[in-house]
A and B are shown apart, each in its own frame.
Chain A
Amino acid sequence: MNGDWRRLDKRAVPVAAVTMVGVAFLAGVPSAIGLSGISVGVALAWVLPGAVVVIAAGAGAAWLDWRFTRYQVGAERVEVRSGVLIRNRRSLQRDRIRTVDVTADPLQRVFGVVTVRIGTGEHSKGGTVQLRPVARATGDELRRVLLARVSTSVPADGRLATFDLGWIRYAPLSFLAPALGAAAVGGLFNVADWFGRVEGLVGWAIDLLAGLGLIGAIAVLVAVTLLIGTIGALGFWIEMWWAYRLDREAGGTLRVRRGLFTTRSISVEEERLRGVDVVEALGTRLAGAARVDAVATGLPTTVEDNKADQRTLLPAVPRALADRVAADVLREEVSPTAAVVLSPHPIAARGRRVRWALATVLAGELPLIVLGVLLTEVLLHVAWITAALALPIALVLAVDAYRSLGHGRVGGYLVTRSGTIRRSTVALQRRGIIGWTVRQSAFQRRAGLATVWATTAAGAGAYAIRDVGAETGLAAADAAVPGLLTPFLAPLPDSRPVTDETVAESTAAGEA
Chain B
Amino acid sequence: MAGEPVATSAAPVQPGAVLLRPPTNPVDRRAVGWWTVNLLIGFAVPVVVLVVLGLLITPARFWLFTPAVVIAFAGLAAVLALPRWWFRVHRWEVTDTAVYTRTGRFWQEWRVAPLSRIQTVDTRRGPLEQRFGLATVVVTTASAKGAVTMPGLARDVAEEIAERLTVTTQAIPGDAT
Q: Which residues of A come within 8 Å of B, CB atoms?
A: 123, 297, 301, 432, 434-442, 445, 453, 455-458, 460-462, 470-472, 474-475, 478, 483-485, 487-495, 497-500, 502-503, 506-507, 510-511
Contacts and interface: CB of A to CB of B under 8 A. Distances in A.
Given A435-B148, A441-B106, A498-B110, 10 more contacts: A434-B113, A437-B112, A438-B109, A462-B143, A462-B145, A484-B98, A487-B97, A497-B20, A498-B22, A510-B1
A274 B109 CA distance: 25
A473 to B, nearest CB: 9
B141 A457 contact: yes
23 contacts: A297-B142, A432-B177, A434-B141, A435-B141, A436-B111, A437-B111, A457-B143, A461-B143, A462-B143, A471-B18, A484-B98, A489-B18, A489-B20, A490-B19, A491-B13, A491-B19, A492-B9, A492-B17, A497-B19, A498-B21, A499-B108, A506-B1, A511-B2
Contact of A498 (B13, B20, B114): B20
A495 B23 CA distance: 12
Contacts of A301: 144
A499 B108 CA distance: 10
B16 A471 contact: yes
B10 interface: yes
A490 B21 contact: yes
B5 interface: yes
A502 B10 CA distance: 18
B49 interface: no
A472 B17 CA distance: 7
B49 to A, nearest CB: 32
B107 interface: yes
Interface string B91-117: 001010110101001111111111001
Minimum-distance CB pairs A-B, first 4: A461-B144, A457-B142, A490-B21, A457-B177
Contacts of A474: 18-20
Interface in B8-47: 9-10, 13, 15-23
Which residue of A123, A432, A435 has the most chain B CB atoms within 10 A of its CB atom?
A435
B17 A435 contact: no
Contact of B19 (A442, A453, A498): A498
Contact of B13 (A435, A492, A511): A492
Nearest to B113: A435
B142 A434 contact: yes
Nearest to A503: B19
Size band of the B side of the interface? 35 or more
B157 interface: no
Contacts of A460: 144-145
B176 interface: yes
B1 A455 contact: no
Nearest to B100: A488
A483 B95 CA distance: 13
Contacts of B102: 498
Interface of B: 1-2, 5, 9-10, 13, 15-23, 93, 95, 97-98, 100, 102, 105-114, 117, 141-146, 148, 176-177
Nearest to B16: A475
Contact of A502 (B16, B19, B107): B19
Contacts of B9: 492-493
Given A475-B16, A488-B20, A439 B108 contact: yes
Contacts of B105: 442
A442 B13 CA distance: 25
A475 B141 contact: no
Contacts of B143: 434-435, 455-457, 461-462
Nearest to A499: B19
Which residue of B22, B23, B93 has the most chain A CB atoms within 10 A of its CB atom?
B22
Contacts of A456: 143
B144 A438 contact: no
Nearest to A459: B144
Contacts of A507: 1, 5
Nearest to A479: B16
B21 A497 contact: yes
B109 to A, nearest CB: 5
A502 B106 CA distance: 13
Nearest to B22: A498
Which residue of B20, B95, B110, B141 has the most chain A CB atoms within 10 A of its CB atom?
B20
A485 B112 contact: yes
Nearest to B144: A461
A200 to B, nearest CB: 49
A38 B8 CA distance: 92
Contact of A123 (B15, B21, B144): B144
A494 B106 CA distance: 23
Nearest to A271: B177
A298 B156 CA distance: 36
